[in-house]
Amino acid sequence: MSDDELIEPEEYEKPEPAIADDFGSFVELRRDEEEHAKLADESEDSE
């Protein structure tokens, strides 16, 4: 019974930071892609 009590909170808490981490990385990745696209557009315009 005590094993379940230890495992349950761990499994419940783990997904939250994991999702937040993945989402944060995903947002950062998207932002980098958008910035890169903007820089590419700007360099094309200046040429």
Q: What is the DSSP string of the chain?
A: -HHHHHHHHHHHHTHHHHHHHHHHHHHHHHHHHHHHHHHHHHHHHH-
Mean pLDDT, rounded, of the chain: 66
Cα 42 to Cα 16: distance, rounded to the nearest angstrom: 38
Q: What pLDDT does residue 8 have?
A: 59
Q: Which amino acid is at 10?
A: E
* Confidence (pLDDT) at 47: 57
Q: Residue 21: its pLDDT value, please?
A: 60
Give the span between the Cα atoms of 19 and 33, in whole angstroms.
21
pLDDT-flagged residues of the chain (< 70):
1-26, 44-47
